Amino acid sequence: MTQASIQDEAQTLPQAIYLKNYQAPHYFIDEVNLSVDLYDDHALVTSHLQIRRNQVSTDPSKALVLYGEEMTLISVKLNRVTLSPQQYDVTEKLLTIPHMTDQAELEIVTRILPQKNTALSGLYRSANTFCTQCEAEGFRRITYFMDRPDILSRYSTRITADAKAYPILLSNGNLIESGRLENGRHFAVWQDPFNKPCYLFALVAGDFDLLADSFSTQSGREVALRIYVEKGYGNQAHHAMHCVKQAMRWDEEKYGREYDLDIYMIVAISDFNMGAMENKGLNIFNTKYVLAKPETATDEDYIHILSVIGHEYFHNWSGNRVTCRDWFQLSLKEGLTIFRDQSFTEDLLSAAVMRIRDVNYLRESQFPEDAGPLAHPVRPDSYIEINNFYTATVYNKGAEVLRMLQTMLGKALFRKGMDLYFARYDGQAVTIEDYIKTMEEISGLDLSQFRRWYTQSRTPTLTVEDNYDAERNTYTLTFAQACAPTQGEPEKKPFYIPMRMGLLNEKGEDLPLHIQGEPVSTEKVIAVTEAMQMLQFQKVSSRPIPSLLRNFSAPVKLHYRYSDNELAFLCRHDSDAFNRWEAGQKYTLRLLLNLCRDEQQEKNLHLPTELIDMYQHMLKQTKPDKFLLAECLSLPSEKYIGEQMEVVDVDAIHSTREFTLMWLAQSLQAVFLDLYHDNYREPGEYQFNIEEIGRRQLQNACLAYLMQLPAHANLGERQFVSALKSDMTNTQAALVSIANQDLPFREKALADFYSTWKHDALVVDKWLAIQAGTKLPFALKEIRKLMRHEAFDIKNPNKVYALIGTFAYRNSVNFHAINGDGYAFLGEVVQRLDELNPQVAARMVKPLTTWNRYDKERQALMRMQLELLLKKRLSSDLYELVTKSL
Strand order in the sheet with 263-269: 208-216, 222-230, 263-269, 282-286, 276-277
Q: How many other CB atoms sit within 10 Å of the CB of residue 6?
A: 10
Please state, in angstroms and rounded to a whole number, the distance separating the CA atoms of residues 197 and 428: 10
- Secondary structure of 431-499 as H, E, C letters: CHHHHHHHHHHHHCCCCCCCCHHHHCCCCCEEEEEEEEECCCCEEEEEEEEECCCECCECCCCCCCEEE
Please state, in angstroms and rounded to a whole number, the distance separating the CA atoms of residues 77 and 87: 10
Which residues does 786 contact at the CB level (< 8 Å), separation at least 6? 768, 771, 772, 792, 803
Question: Closest Cα partner for 274 from 804, 881, 842, 880?
Answer: 842
Find out whether 393 and 670 touch, Cβ atoms under 8 Å. Answer: no
The full DSSP string for 9-38 is HHHHS---EEGGG----SEEEEEEEEEEEE
Question: Closest Cα partner for 566 from 523, 616, 642, 503?
Answer: 503
Which residues does 707 contact at the CB level (< 8 Å), separation at least 6? 713, 715, 716, 737, 738, 740, 741
Please state, in angstroms and rounded to a whole number, the distance separating the CA atoms of residues 682 and 700: 13
φ, ψ at 296 (rounded to 5°): -120, -10
Has 643 been annotated as catalytic? no
Beta strand 94-97 with 27-38 is unpaired
* Per annotation, catalytic residue among 69, 137, 295, 312: 312
Please state, in angstroms and rounded to a whole number, the distance separating the CA atoms of residues 63 and 379: 30
| Partner residues linked to 131 by β-bridges | 124, 204
Report CA dihedral (8, 14, 18, 22) to the nearest 10 degrees.
Answer: 80
Please give the DSSP secondary-structure letter assigned to residue 608.
-
Tell me the residue type at 170. Answer: L
Find out whether 771 and 786 touch, Cβ atoms under 8 Å. Answer: yes
Please state, in angstroms and rounded to a whole number, the distance separating the CA atoms of residues 205 and 198: 19
Please state, in angstroms and rounded to a whole number, the distance separating the CA atoms of residues 267 and 208: 9
Please state, in angstroms and rounded to a whole number, the distance separating the CA atoms of residues 831 and 116: 19
Question: Closest Cα partner for 191 from 142, 263, 257?
Answer: 263
Please state, in angstroms and rounded to a whole number, the distance separating the CA atoms of residues 823 and 54: 51
Find out whether 791 and 758 touch, Cβ atoms under 8 Å. Answer: yes
Beta strand 103-112 with 174-180 is unpaired
Residues that are catalytic: 312
